Amino acid sequence: MNATDVRISKPVDTNTYPSWLSAIAALVCMLILWQVIVSITQVPAFILPAPLAVVTTFISNFSLLAHHASITLMEILFGLLLGTLLGVTSAITLTLSTSARRWVLPLLVVTQSLPVFALAPLLTLWFGYGMGSKIVMATLIIYFPVTVATFDGLRHTSRAMIDLARTLDASPTATLLQIRLPSALPSISSGIRVATSVAPIGAVVGEWVGSSQGLGFVMLQANGRMQTDLMFAALLCLCLLAYTLYYLVNLMLDLALYWQRDSLSAARDIQ
Amino acid sequence: MRSAITLESVDLTHSQHRVFKDLSMNFEKGLWHSVLGRSGVGKTSLLRLIAGLQKPDAGEIRFDNNASLKSQVAYVPQDDSLLPWLSIVDNVQLGPRLRGEATSATRERALKLLKDVGLREWRDNLPATLSGGMRQRVALARTLLENPPVVLMDEPFSRLDAITRHELQGVAFELLRGRTVILVTHDPAEALRLSHKVHVLQPGIPSRCPTLELESQPLRGIESDVLMQQLPQLWRLLEVQDSDAIEANSTS
């Protein structure tokens, strides 16, 4: 074999099945294990209901769960929207203003050491038992990750790009809107992804502290009446809601970051 | 010959480090000038000063006819700085887009320039789908759309392979013919191939920048006599150390 015969082969992809299939397989395995444990130990249903009982309760109480899930979903969506808007606005202010960085940033970091859940009773007191307090709770939980991710993205815009914009006589507003914000979009997306996964926690914790509607309320009521199967059904509903929301947000962000998709496929083509 | 840019007794300090002291240079109109020097000697700082991205601590930078800086200079950064979310044609018309002046006429001009650099059929692609050499051609077209009399280039060919670099040097030289070009480079052969004048920034305070004037027309071949004859002299100028400069100063 001479030197010209040397070839570098591509790494072989050993995963021949899609990732969603392995996720479903893991879930089925977990459910089987759960069913087996319940059958063997004969644990009472009010302590640990069997998965089949949970599914039956989920189907028979579907309209009740759907009604309460729609309330929780509204709280999550409004919280997500408000938290993202406030977070991005704050990050832009912190990036553009030295005084804001000096005075507000340390305050922001210090307030994050305070667990937001501890504020839930206060928020209920201030904003009432309705949707308002839950939206504020979700907004507060979302605000910090979005602010930090956006601020980080805006700060790390390539200096060469900013220099180029200056030599092209771009105004600071044009540089912000056409260069800095799109450059920061991957970081902002990371912040929104984190926010989407924690927003349901904010809404449900708010409902636990004081509410008359929502999945958190259903859980509390079911717990008080020892309807553990309904509690699990509400939990299943919350999981489905959170997962669907995360999936849709992820899809939208992937569409918004179209150039990253193209660069990945270009990199694959080069390989 | 008239000067396009004159630096007079320029001082510059960067992060408490003195970059230039009493630096005076002259760039004649319509010629290709290369600025050579070791890493950290201040080549990029010099371009940033001329581009108006940095202000000197003292001294003066004058343009031809005392024209305003904005209408004079276009800057080609070391990396191509193409915006990954914009198509190739939109990257070329970045200047008008940023200034809110983009029209169908600017798009037409951008398309014409893309044709000149051989990339018209790539106009709707994203930069990620282009090779390094093609991206530099787009950056060149973006510069030409501004129609500047002075073009500042910060090692634009340094990341390319030898053949692509050679080809792109030819394309850039032809397209920028007649303009004043200041090319910062690490490569003495590139400087000798492309320039009318080579300025060597030497380390030490006060700043010194001897100039090598080349006789024949640029875009010289790799076996050109100028390259063979001038390379050793250029090498000697580049080899000057900070301590040599101090010695020379104390002697004088």
Checking if the pLDDT of A271 tops 50, the result is no
pLDDT band, very low/low/confident/very high, at A174 (cuts 50, 70, 90) = very high
Q: Nearest by CB to A259, from B53, B84, B98: name it.
A: B84
- Our CA-based measurement puts residue A84 at a distance from the nearest CA of chain B, in whole angstroms, of 22
Q: Nearest by CB to A165, from B79, B98, B100: name it.
A: B98
Question: Which of A157, A168, A189, A253 to mutate to test binding with chain B, by most B CBs within 10 Å of its CB?
Answer: A168
CB interface of B with A, residues 115-174, below 8 Å: 126, 128-129, 146
Q: What pLDDT does B251 receive?
A: 38
- Please tell me the distance from the alpha carbon of residue A149 to that of residue A186, in angstroms, as a whole number: 9
Kindly list the residues from chain B whose CB atom is less than 8 angstroms away from the CB atom of residue A160: 77-79, 81
Q: What pLDDT does A5 receive?
A: 46
Question: Which of B54, B83, B184 to mutate to test binding with chain A, by most A CBs within 10 Å of its CB?
Answer: B83
The DSSP code for A226 is: T
Q: Bigger pLDDT: A14 or A115?
A: A115
Are the beta carbons of B154 and B165 closer than 8 angstroms? no
Question: Chain B residue closest to A159 (CA)?
Answer: B81
pLDDT in tens, B100-135: 999 999 999 999 999 988 888 999 999 999 988 889
The bridge status of strand B211-213 relative to strand B197-201 is antiparallel
Reduced to 3 DSSP states, what percent helix, strand and coil does chain B have, rounded to the nearest 5? 40, 25, 35
Q: How many CB atoms are located within 10 Å of the residue A33 CB?
A: 11
> Are A169 and B100 an interchain contact pair (Cβ–Cβ within 8 Å)?
no
Size of interface A-B (CB pairs under 8 A): 65
Taking the Cβ of residue A254 and every Cβ of chain B, the question of whether any pair is shorter than 8 Å is answered with: no
What value does the mean pLDDT take over residues B136-142?
91
pLDDT in tens, A213-247: 999 999 999 999 889 999 999 999 999 999 999 99
> Are B75 and A167 an interchain contact pair (Cβ–Cβ within 8 Å)?
yes
What value does the mean pLDDT take over residues B59-66?
81
What's the ipTM? 0.82
- Our CA-based measurement puts residue B216 at a distance from the nearest CA of chain A, in whole angstroms, of 33
- Our CA-based measurement puts residue B87 at a distance from the nearest CA of chain A, in whole angstroms, of 10
Question: Chain B residue closest to A263 (CA)?
Answer: B128
Taking the Cβ of residue B54 and every Cβ of chain A, the question of whether any pair is shorter than 8 Å is answered with: no
Question: Which of A164, A171, A258, A263 to mutate to test binding with chain B, by most B CBs within 10 Å of its CB?
Answer: A164
Helix (H, G, I), strand (E, B) or coil at A73: helix
Q: Bigger pLDDT: A232 or A12?
A: A232
pLDDT in tens, B2-36: 777 888 888 888 877 888 888 888 898 889 999 99
pTM: 0.79
> Are A160 and B83 an interchain contact pair (Cβ–Cβ within 8 Å)?
no
- Please tell me the distance from the alpha carbon of residue A176 to that of residue A88, in angstroms, as a whole number: 12
Taking the Cβ of residue A166 and every Cβ of chain B, the question of whether any pair is shorter than 8 Å is answered with: yes
Q: Bigger pLDDT: B234 or B132?
A: B132
Q: Nearest by CB to B98, from A178, A182, A262: name it.
A: A178
Structure tokens belonging to residue A32: 């089987």
Q: What pLDDT does A269 receive?
A: 54
pLDDT band, very low/low/confident/very high, at B71 (cuts 50, 70, 90) = low
Kindly list the residues from chain B whose CB atom is less than 8 angstroms away from the CB atom of residue A174: 98-100
Are the beta carbons of B6 and B62 closer than 8 angstroms? yes
**Bond prior to B206 in cis (omega within 30° of 0):** yes
Q: Nearest by CB to A160, from B79, B97, B100: name it.
A: B79
Helix (H, G, I), strand (E, B) or coil at B99: coil
Which helix (H) or strand (E) segment holds residue A137: the answer is: helix A131-155
Q: What pLDDT does B94 receive?
A: 95
Q: Which domains does chain A have, with CATH numbers?
A: 58-270 (1.10.3720.10)
Q: Nearest by CB to B73, from A167, A178, A267: name it.
A: A167
Checking if the pLDDT of A111 tops 70, the result is yes
Kindly list the residues from chain A whose CB atom is less than 8 angstroms away from the CB atom of residue B51: 163, 167
